[in-house]
């Protein structure tokens, strides 16, 4: 397990440049999203609790960064193991499990929003959807990479 977590991944100069650009775009987009959210809150538009707002914005931007990295071919580096794929699969299983719990709770009278704000169930469902998008794009890209070899 220790080897799995500390495995070195090699990126060439082009990949390092692309990764830097992806992270730079993600950082500035996150700042803009947080600023817009703060302005909405200042004008009295509260769409979720403070914790849920910030977590959704951060997770949304993490998903966008991951998808851009997948599409630009710099998410998986050259390594002998499959650490990134392993992490993606674990995240996918977690998203599937939590989605099942939330959907089951909706059947028992849960709701996506309460009193005009996002509920805990809605928050969990959105996070699971974002994780599922990341996992799906990652797996598709991994399969495409294997076919191209």
> Distance of CA 38 to CAs 125, 137, 144, Å?
23, 30, 40
- Its pTM stands at 0.72
Helix, strand, coil distribution of the chain in percent, nearest 5: 75, 5, 20
pLDDT, tens digit, 9 for 90 and up, residues 61-76: 988 998 888 888 787 6
Q: How many helices (H) and strands (E) does the chain have?
A: 5, 2
Q: At 108, phi and psi to the nearest 5?
A: -95, 15
Domain extent listing, the chain? 2-148
**Which residues neighbour 113 within 8 Å (Cβ) at sequence distance 6 or greater?**
119, 122
Give the pLDDT confidence of 93-148 residue by residue, as tens digits. 777 777 777 676 666 666 777 777 887 777 877 888 888 888 888 778 877 877 87
Q: Which residues contact 124 (CB under 8 A, 6 or more apart)?
A: 98, 101, 102
């Amino acid at each position: 397990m220790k080897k799995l977590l500390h495995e070195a991944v090699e990126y060439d100069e082009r990949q390092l440049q692309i990764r830097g650009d992806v992270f730079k775009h993600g950082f500035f987009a996150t700042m803009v999203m947080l600023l817009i959210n703060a302005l909405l809150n200042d004008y009295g538009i509260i769409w979720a609790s403070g914790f849920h707002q910030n977590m959704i914005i951060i997770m949304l931007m993490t998903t966008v960064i991951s998808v851009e990295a997948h599409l630009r071919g710099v998410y998986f580096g050259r390594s002998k193991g499959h650490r990134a794929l392993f992490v993606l699969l674990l995240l996918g299983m977690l998203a599937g499990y939590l989605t099942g719990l939330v959907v089951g709770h909706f059947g028992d009278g849960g709701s996506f929003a309460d009193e005009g704000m996002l509920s805990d169930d809605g928050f969990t469902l959105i996070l699971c959807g974002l994780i599922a998008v990341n996992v799906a794009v990652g797996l598709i890209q991994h399969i495409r990479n294997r076919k191209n070899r």
